[in-house]
Amino acid sequence: MKPNQPEPPISAKALFKYFLQEFKRMHGVDFIQNPETMGNLLPLIYYFAKDKRFFECQNLRTDIIKYPSFDKGLFIMGNYGIGKTNYLKVFEEMFKKYYPHRFKIISTKDIVREYECCQTPNDKDYYYKKMYGGKLALDDTGSERKANNFGSNETLIEILETRCDRGLITHLTSNYAEGCEYDVAESLLAMNIRYGGRVYDRIFENFNIIEFKGKSMRGNIKR
């Protein structure tokens, strides 16, 4: 391929086959295909393949996000242990050599710990360059505690606001908010309370919401 030439898109069929291979390599078991797991996976396959079937997926919450787009990131919400992180880890590995979709997964808990380790202005400069470089998937959003570094603050607020303002693609995963199980809209309102209206508004502007459904699959994946 010539320098600066765009990489060709990947078909949904090829991407699905590659996913199955990589899933087994990483987790030691075959991906279990049933209506629930496929309902969760196919929106991701179609999204990354830029396949228009993405907009017809039942798990894409178009009742909440009225204008889904391939130019927006993914916000994957669902119950504990249902595969949100595991699926994204497979895609992260798949796309390491495919620049258009390459992204790095970072736990929001690790984001807080890294911020708390910043002792100098240079430390913080390096930290924010990492947070604002390329595509990121922020895993387990809402589970992190407030950061303590010369005061207590919600580190994720600045990161999300800045990344959205700069037009950087970000993917998020989150469990339902406590007391709001199986209710995406109420879980989003809980994020509004924690992170504030500016972050809440950016969710609707910058993300496609995918609701993962079904039972925990943790017993089917090797540790």
Name the pTM for this structure. 0.91
Percentage, residues of the chain above pLDDT 70: 91
Confidence of residue 3 (pLDDT cuts 50, 70, 90): very low
Q: Summarize pLDDT for 157-206 with one digit per residue, the tens.
A: 999 999 999 999 999 999 999 988 899 999 999 999 999 999 999 999 99
User: Can you list the domains of the chain with their CATH numbers?
Assistant: 61-220 (3.40.50.300)
Asked if residue 186 lies in contact with residue 177, where contact means CB atoms within 8 angstroms, the answer is: yes
pLDDT of residue 2 exceeding 70, the answer is no
pLDDT of residue 1 exceeding 50, the answer is no
Q: Summarize pLDDT for 36-56 with one digit per residue, the tens.
A: 999 999 999 999 999 999 999
Asked if residue 60 lies in contact with residue 54, where contact means CB atoms within 8 angstroms, the answer is: yes
Q: What are phi and psi of 31, to 5 degrees?
A: -70, 125
DSSP 121-190: HHHHHHHHHHHTSSEEEEETTT-SPPEESSSEE-HHHHHHHHHHHTT--EEEEEEPPTT-TT-HHHHHHH
For residue 103, what pLDDT is reported? Answer: 97
Task: Please report how many Cα atoms fall inside a 13 Å half-sphere around the Cα of residue 164, on the Cβ side.
Answer: 21
Q: Summarize pLDDT for 103-154 with one digit per residue, the tens.
A: 999 999 999 999 889 888 899 889 989 999 899 999 999 999 887 765 567 8
Instruction: Tell which wins on pLDDT, 78 or 153.
Output: 78
Q: Name the residue type at position 173.
A: T
Helix 184-195 / helix 197-206 crossing angle, nearest 10 deg: 130
